[in-house]
Amino acid sequence: MIYVTADLHGDYTKYTVLLEKINLSSKDALVILGDVIDRGSQGIKILMDIMGRDNVFMLLGNHEQIALACLEVLGQEITEESIANLEAATTDMLVEWLYNLGGQATLDGFSKLSQPDKEAVLAYLEELPLYEEFEINGQTYLLVHGGLENFAPDKEMDDYTADELIWHRIDYGRRYFDDKMIMTGHTPTRNIDGHHVDRIYQNNGHIAMDCGAGFGGVLGCICLNTGEEFYV
């Protein structure tokens, strides 16, 4: 069985309860559509758990992308000279991550790791894919964190930039493909027109998975083989 969830945002308790609820076995796979970290206090703990499993996978989310960039900057030797030499864009990025995107919680967890574990986390984040595709029961699923900015029907997925796939919010009122379903996180389902609840949204060729776990909502998950939905 292939299960999909998204946007855990540091809620380790919901993550572990979900694993129990779906009874994830060695024959199953769980795919997380990015944004495992930030906001909640235990994003690094979730990352370390994922890294230790061979049947839990994740895509790059915008929170992982900006965290990676910031952690690499913060990992440099901090001196008065290095601080003075920071470009304004880098300073703005650090402020955005730490104070607007909830990155302080991730930084706190990362700082407690051993040096080998820090290096392993950074290496893992650097290798995260931007998208995945599955065909199950004759249905093709395109999994991506955010959306398909500058979409064209004949555009190859590898031609999209990371920003187009992980920062863009997809238009749920638009059908992008006739032959595949797009699965996304990033946009809380409570914000989708006509939906407004913390439940998985399925309509118009879309399956939206961010059920608001990072904002006091629930963690949603779906089994692609059966269509069964799970909530924590």
- pTM score > 0.85 for this model? yes
pLDDT band at residue 75 using 50, 70 and 90 as cut-offs: confident
Find residue 134's DSSP bridge partners.
141
Please give the residue that has the higher pLDDT: either 85 or 135: 135
What pLDDT is recorded for position 73?
Answer: 86
Would you call 152 helix, strand, or coil by DSSP?
Answer: coil
pLDDT of 228 over the 60 cut: yes
124 with 46: CB under 8 angstroms? no
Tokens of 51: 């890294």
Mean pLDDT of the chain, nearest integer: 93
Share of the chain above pLDDT 70, in %: 95
pLDDT in the model for residue 78: 47
- The pair of structure tokens assigned to 23 is 């009874």
- pLDDT higher than 90, residue 90: no
pLDDT digits (tens, 9 = 90+) for 104-144: 999 999 999 999 999 999 999 999 999 999 999 999 999 99
Q: What is the pLDDT of residues 24-46, one digit of tens each?
A: 999 999 999 999 999 999 999 99
* Residue-wise DSSP of 3-61: EEE---TT-HHHHHHHHHHTT--TT-EEEE-S--SSSSTTHHHHHHHHHT-SSEEE---
Q: Which tokens in the block code for residue 144?
A: 């991506």
CA distance linking residue 199 with residue 209, whole number of Å:
8
pLDDT of 80 over the 90 cut = no
- In the block, tokens 């776990």 appear at 213
Give the per-residue pLDDT at 85: 60
Cα separations in angstroms, 54 against 26, 31, 47, 82, 133: 8, 11, 13, 39, 18
Helices 62-74 and 115-126 cross at an angle (nearest 10°) of: 140
Q: How far apart are CA 180 and CA 151, in angstroms?
A: 15
pLDDT above 90: residue 4:
yes
Of the listed ranges 22-26, 77-81, 96-100, 106-110, the least confidently predicted one is 77-81
Domains of the chain, earliest start first: 2-64+126-231 (3.60.21.10)
